């Protein structure tokens, strides 16, 4: 392995870490908070750069500097100002983590404008590849991701599915920088024991997540209209830009009386009460809701994109996609087989404890930070991880 020979190849003390994100809610923000907390526990100096919202509030509560960064999900002219602002920030830190495709694009363009000697160490967490949502421009996004990999030291996949997609779609020079740190959750906070939100003899289906196209609640509502069991009720936990459209859809399909919009609340009592937790996401890195529901001992029905390559053998019931008819068919089958649901629920909790704990994810994150200041990823990324993990 080749050790960096420039002045930034040593490990500074304390390490000045910048976490940059476009999403300020949902799983991406949760992962960022966990990593920032891990940094603070290690005595690292932490700064957050993001739009205002949950992350700015978290930073204020923890005495962490927060920098306002105007980023939206869609490309826009204001992104050029964000590149300029990040460029100035990058020169003042030792290590930057870019969370989400948008932050990854803006941050790496900022890195590209700096002389190599002034660049901090840089790791990019896609939290779902940009081309998943790219539509007809997906090929351009794949090309950009391969080129932009030149301006970071590591690319972190949060699921095996995301890792495999990266290996298949990125240029070999970019894929060599790809590492795997699967998402983790606090298995002591999410348990099968505790309060259940609802006690009813009627079938209960729960879906937790931001109400938006990505999460696929529209297909789930269409599935409700196709169920043979007309007593089943769907509870949607969360809020988002598509809330009004989803209400209209439920009304148009004649299932409004069986679709409840709960809003933002603690999902754990609903996980414990549910006969099925449905996760119909169109794209994800690795759904934290999926892991949280599994830890609470729920039976989970998820698309492959939400499950991050987990299979039926891993206690996840997957479908070929979120097609309403297929989802309705599997919901019907699961509701008719309580013993199968109990079996999957037991396996789900065991799997999360063994493989998806927050402590495991945090330990691997610390290995990554240490490695970034000792080894040149561009020389031998795979060997680095094999020898330090």
Asked if the model's pLDDT at residue 346 lies above 50, the reply is: yes
Helix (H, G, I), strand (E, B) or coil at 117: helix
Q: What distance in Å separates the CA atoms of residue 72 and residue 164, rounded to the nearest whole number?
A: 27
- 100-113 confidence digits (pLDDT tens): 999 999 999 999 99
In three-state form (DSSP H/G/I as H, E/B as E, the rest C), the secondary structure along 268-317 is: HHHHHHCCEEEECCCCCCCCHHHHHHHHCCCCEEECHHHHCCCCHHHCCE
Q: State how far the Cα of 218 lies from the Cα of 224, in Å rounded to an integer.
A: 10
pLDDT tens for residues 188-197? 999 998 888 7
- pTM for this one? 0.87
- Mean pLDDT (the chain, rounded): 87
What value does the mean pLDDT take over residues 203-210?
Answer: 95
Whether the per-residue pLDDT at 305 is higher than 90: the answer is no
208 pLDDT more than 80: yes
Query: Residue 53, preceding bond cis, omega within 30 degrees?
Result: no
Residue 7, Cβ density class (10 Å: 0-12 exposed, 13-18 middle, ≥19 buried)? exposed
Q: Tell whether the model's pLDDT for residue 162 goes beyond 70.
A: yes
**Nearest partner of 94 among 178, 22, 13, 20, judged by Cα:** 13
Closest CA to 31 of 51, 52, 48, 11: 48
Query: Torsion-angle region of residue 25: left (phi > 0), alpha (psi -120 to 50) or beta?
Result: beta
Question: What does the angle CA 258 – CA 260 – CA 261 come to, to the nearest 5 degrees?
Answer: 150
Strand, helix or coil at 18? Answer: strand
pLDDT number for residue 93: 95
The per-residue pLDDT for range 310-340, each reduced to its tens digit, is 755 555 766 656 688 888 988 999 999 999 8
pLDDT at residue 387, as a whole number: 36
pLDDT at 322: 60
Mean pLDDT of 289-305: 92
- The answer to whether the beta carbons of residues 260 and 233 sit under 8 Å apart is yes
Q: Which residues does 168 contact at the CB level (< 8 Å), separation at least 6?
A: none
Alpha carbon 107 to chain centroid, angstroms: 18
pLDDT value of residue 296: 94
- Give residue 127's region: left, alpha or beta (phi > 0; psi -120 to 50): left
Cα separations (Å) of 64 from 47, 180, 201? 6, 27, 48
Q: How far apart are CA 266 and CA 350, in angstroms?
A: 22
* Helical spans, DSSP H, in the chain: 26-41, 54-61, 79-90, 101-112, 138-148, 160-169, 172-175, 217-224, 243-252, 268-273, 288-295, 304-307, 324-335, 338-355, 358-372, 381-388
At residue 389, does pLDDT exceed 50? no
Highest mean pLDDT among 8-17, 35-44, 306-315: 35-44
All domains of the chain, ordered by start, with CATH?
7-184+357-388 (3.40.50.2000), 204-355 (3.40.50.2000)
């Amino acid at each position: 392995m080749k050790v960096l020979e420039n002045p930034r190849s040593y490990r500074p003390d304390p390490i000045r870490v910048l976490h940059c994100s476009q999403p300020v809610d949902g799983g991406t923000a949760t992962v960022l908070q966990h990593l920032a907390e891990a940094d603070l526990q290690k005595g690292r100096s932490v700064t957050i750069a993001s739009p205002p919202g949950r992350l700015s509030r978290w930073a204020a509560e923890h005495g962490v500097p927060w920098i306002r960064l105007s980023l939206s999900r869609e490309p826009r002219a204001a992104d050029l100002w964000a590149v300029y602002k990040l460029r100035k920030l990058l020169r003042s830190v030792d290590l930057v983590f870019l969370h989400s495709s948008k932050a990854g694009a803006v941050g790496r363009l900022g890195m590209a404008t700096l002389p190599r000697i002034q660049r901090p160490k840089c790791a990019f967490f896609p939290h779902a590849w940009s081309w998943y949502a790219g539509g007809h421009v997906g090929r351009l996004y794949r090309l950009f991701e391969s080129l932009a990999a030149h301006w970071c030291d590591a690319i972190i996949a949060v699921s095996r599915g995301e890792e495999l997609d990266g290996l298949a779609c990125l240029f070999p020079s970019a894929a060599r920088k790809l590492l795997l740190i699967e998402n983790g959750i606090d298995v002591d906070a999410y348990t099968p024991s505790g309060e259940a939100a609802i006690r009813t003899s009627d079938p209960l289906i729960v879906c937790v997540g931001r109400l938006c196209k990505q999460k696929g609640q529209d297909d789930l509502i269409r599935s409700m209209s196709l169920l043979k069991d007309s007593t089943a009720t769907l509870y949607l936990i969360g809020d988002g830009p598509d809330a009004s459209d989803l209400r209209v859809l439920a009304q148009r399909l004649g299932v409004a009386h069986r679709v409840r919009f709960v809003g933002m609340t603690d999902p754990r009592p609903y996980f414990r009460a549910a006969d099925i937790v449905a996760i119909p996401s169109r794209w994800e890195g690795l759904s934290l809701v999926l892991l949280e529901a599994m830890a609470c001992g729920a039976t989970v029905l998820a698309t492959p994109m939400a499950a991050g390559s987990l299979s039926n053998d891993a206690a996840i019931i997957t479908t070929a996609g979120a097609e309403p008819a297929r989802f309705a068919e599997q919901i019907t089958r699961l509701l008719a087989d309580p013993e199968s649901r109990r079996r999957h629920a037991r396996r789900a909790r065991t799997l999360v404890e063994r493989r998806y704990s927050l402590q495991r994810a945090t330990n691997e994150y610390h290995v990554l930070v240490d490695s970034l200041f000792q080894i040149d990823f561009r020389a031998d990324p795979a060997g680095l991880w094999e020898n330090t993990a």
